[in-house]
């Protein structure tokens, strides 16, 4: 019996055209009858209303059985349902009034019936084709219709696994069929509660168990299988997205944990890094005007072999940036390598590393540096003296170091300094205000404000390491 009702429901999208046709015809006939010339079609009005009434009621019933499948947006469905019932009710009244003499009330009811039919039809279209189906293509050329849910991530370690890494994937790749607009399989994937609720066949997310989570299992299936998600022909998940999804479930990150709070196996690091690289490349360090020799291929290779990311800062430029993102302790050999590129280095990212006495000296010899990130290192007031010769430095990040007010004052000799980051140090309150007076041309960042204005800079400088 249930399957029969379900089968009947499938005819709803076809059946609804009948009341639309019959009732519109009835309304047109009724309107024409006001002229004497068309008086003869008066009996046809009653018949048209009768057919409209019957088909409207049948449509309501089939719509009801279709909607019990639960695949539709509930709010829109609710409106559509009541408007549809309204059309049926008005058609009964219309039928009853059809052979009564023309009156103001009859005209108003006719007009209302017409409006109801249009709205119900439009809501029905929205349910099947999705929100905005009518205007799609009309206005969207000017806008970017492929709006991505992804935003750049400044510091992937601070990102919330679900909110910042996973939800954007679900929105991009699953949202078309599993969101407020549509709930294929009775499943929504656009929020924690929906994901936990699951679909028609039950739970889809089992924290800690990727292969026990339908959500991930479906993605893994052979793409030719009917149950594979996203279905054939739709944009598929990339390997990296699949890795992230697997890691999200397996690591028990659930919905609130940050990247730094969960275990990060070696294999997931490239995917995590990739999420962040967009932010890192947002603003290039200033490049000095002078010419320098090209870094030799062998030095390049040695640096890369040491795990340092070395990149030219621009096409046709010999200047380079170096990122120690995967290095925790800077060895003597690495320092020796760094020394070989001390003229070419304009951007150096050493945050979260442990640096030797000698390393600080070598950094001080990289005189073309415009940006230096040494936040969360073992920097102290003693070592900062090594840096006073960096006469091109514009950005310096000292967040989370043991630096004191006296130490920072040593940097007054660097006239080019534009941004100095001092959050999570012992410098606070009045010290900070006094320091700012001594650095009139530099924006000092205490970690509490300025952050919004300097979003891009902060992102650059605080983009963190992935180290285990
Ligand atoms: C083009 C539409 C479409 C897209 C995109 C899509 N799905 Fe589906 N999904 C369906 C349909 C239709 C069903 C119901 C039929 C079935 O169970 O195979 C379904 C069912 C499911 C179910 C089973 C729900 C249940 O309990 O029955 C899961 C889990 C699922 N999809 C996950 C996903 C994931 C994850 C993505 C994105 C990576 C996704 N889907 C993208 C159309 C889609």
Question: 53-97, pLDDT tens digit by residue?
Answer: 999 999 999 999 888 765 677 788 899 999 999 999 999 999 999
The rounded mean pLDDT for the chain is: 84
Q: Is the CB of 178 under 6 A from ligand 1?
A: yes
Our mutation pick for probing the ligand 1 site, out of 179, 195, 230, counting the most ligand atoms within 8 A of Cβ, is 230
Residues in the chain: 468
Residue nearest to atom 17 of ligand 1 (CA): 185
Our mutation pick for probing the ligand 1 site, out of 173, 177, 221, counting the most ligand atoms within 8 A of Cβ, is 177
| Least confident among 33-47, 169-183, 204-218, 268-282 | 268-282
Backbone angles phi, psi at 373, to 5 degrees: -110, 105
Quick one: which of 186, 150, 190 has its CA closest to 170?
A: 190
Q: Where are the alpha helices (DSSP H) in 33-182?
A: 42-67, 74-97, 104-129, 167-173
**Residue 77 per-residue DSSP state:** H
Backbone angles phi, psi at 287, to 5 degrees: -110, 130
Q: Is the CB of 230 under 6 A from ligand 1?
A: yes
Distance CA 161, CA 459 (A): 18
Q: How far is the CA of 169 from the centre of ligand 1 (A)?
A: 14
Q: Is the CB of 185 under 6 A from ligand 1?
A: yes
Higher pLDDT, 343 or 452: 343
Q: What is the mean pLDDT of residues 342-366?
A: 93
What predicted TM-score, i.e. pTM, was given to this entire model? 0.43
Enter the tokens of residue 67.
Answer: 């909607």
pLDDT for 70 equals 59
Identify the band that residue 276 occupies on the pLDDT scale cut at 50, 70 and 90: low
Pick the atom of ligand 1 nearest to 175's CA: 5
* Placement of tokens 């979003």 in the chain: 455
Identify the band that residue 138 occupies on the pLDDT scale cut at 50, 70 and 90: low
Distance CA 41, CA 110 (A): 17
Q: Is the CB of 176 under 6 A from ligand 1?
A: yes
Residue 370 has pLDDT above 60, yes or no: yes
Our mutation pick for probing the ligand 1 site, out of 184, 222, 224, 236, counting the most ligand atoms within 8 A of Cβ, is 184
Q: Is the CB of 215 under 6 A from ligand 1?
A: yes
Q: Is the CB of 234 under 6 A from ligand 1?
A: yes
Distance CA 307, CA 465 (A): 12
**Residue 409 falls in which region: left (phi positive, over 0), alpha (psi -120 to 50) or beta:** alpha
Enter the tokens of residue 341.
Answer: 């590129």
Residue nearest to atom 43 of ligand 1 (CA): 177
Domains (ranges, CATH) in the chain? 2-129 (1.20.120), 156-276 (no CATH), 281-462 (3.80.10.10)
Enter the tokens of residue 284.
Answer: 């290039």
Residue nearest to atom 11 of ligand 1 (CA): 184
Residue 448 has pLDDT above 60, yes or no: no
Residue 174 has pLDDT above 90, yes or no: yes
Q: Is the CB of 384 under 6 A from ligand 1?
A: no
Pick the atom of ligand 1 nearest to 233's CA: 1
Q: How far is the CA of 74 from the centre of ligand 1 (A)?
A: 18
């Amino acid at each position: 019996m249930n399957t029969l009702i379900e089968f009947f429901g499938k005819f709803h999208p076809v059946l609804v055209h009948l009341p639309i046709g019959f009732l519109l015809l009835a309304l047109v006939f009724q309107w024409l009858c006001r002229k004497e010339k068309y008086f003869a079609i008066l009996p046809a009005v009653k018949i048209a209303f009768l057919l409209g009434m019957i088909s409207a009621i049948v449509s309501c019933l089939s719509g009801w059985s279709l909607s019990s499948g639960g695949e539709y947006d509930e709010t829109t469905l609710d409106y559509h349902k009541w408007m549809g019932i309204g059309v049926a009710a008005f058609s009964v009244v219309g039928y009853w009034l059809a052979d009564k003499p023309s009156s103001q009330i009859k005209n108003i009811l006719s007009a209302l019936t017409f409006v109801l039919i249009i709205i119900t039809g439009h809501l029905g279209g929205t349910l099947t084709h999705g929100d905005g189906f009518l205007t799609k293509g009309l206005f969207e050329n000017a806008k970017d219709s492929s709006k991505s849910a992804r935003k750049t991530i400044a510091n992937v370690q601070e990102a919330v696994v679900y909110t910042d890494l996973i939800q954007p994937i679900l929105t991009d790749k699953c949202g078309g069929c599993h969101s407020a607009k549509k709930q294929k399989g009775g499943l929504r994937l656009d929020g924690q509660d929906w994901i936990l609720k699951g679909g028609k066949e039950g739970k889809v997310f089992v924290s800690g168990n990727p292969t026990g989570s339908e959500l991930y299992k479906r993605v893994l299936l052979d793409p030719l299988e009917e149950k594979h998600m996203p279905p054939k022909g739709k944009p598929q998940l990339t390997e990296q997205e699949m890795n992230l999804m697997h890691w999200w479930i397996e690591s028990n990150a659930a919905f609130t944990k940050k990247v730094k709070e969960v275990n990060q196996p070696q294999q997931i690091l490239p995917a995590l890094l990739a999420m962040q690289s967009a932010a890192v490349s947002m603003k290039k360090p200033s490049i000095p005007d002078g010419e320098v020799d090209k870094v030799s291929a062998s030095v390049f290779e040695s640096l890369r072999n040491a795990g340092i990311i070395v990149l030219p800062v621009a096409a046709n430029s010999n200047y380079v940036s170096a990122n120690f993102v995967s290095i925790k302790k800077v060895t003597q050999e690495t320092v020796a390598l760094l020394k070989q590129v001390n003229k070419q280095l304009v951007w150096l990212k050493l945050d979260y590393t442990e640096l030797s006495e000698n390393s600080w000296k070598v950094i001080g010899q990289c005189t073309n540096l415009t940006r230096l990130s040494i936040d969360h290192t073992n920097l102290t007031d003693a070592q900062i003296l090594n840096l006073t010769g960096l006469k091109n430095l514009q950005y310096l990040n000292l967040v989370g170091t043991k630096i004191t007010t006296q130490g920072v004052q040593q940097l007054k000799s660097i006239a080019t300094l534009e941004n100095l980051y001092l959050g999570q140090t012992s410098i606070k309150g009045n010290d900070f205000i006094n320091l700012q007076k001594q650095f009139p041309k530099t924006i000092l960042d205490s970690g509490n404000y300025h952050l919004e204005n300097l979003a891009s800079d902060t992102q650059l400088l605080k983009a963190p390491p992935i180290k285990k």
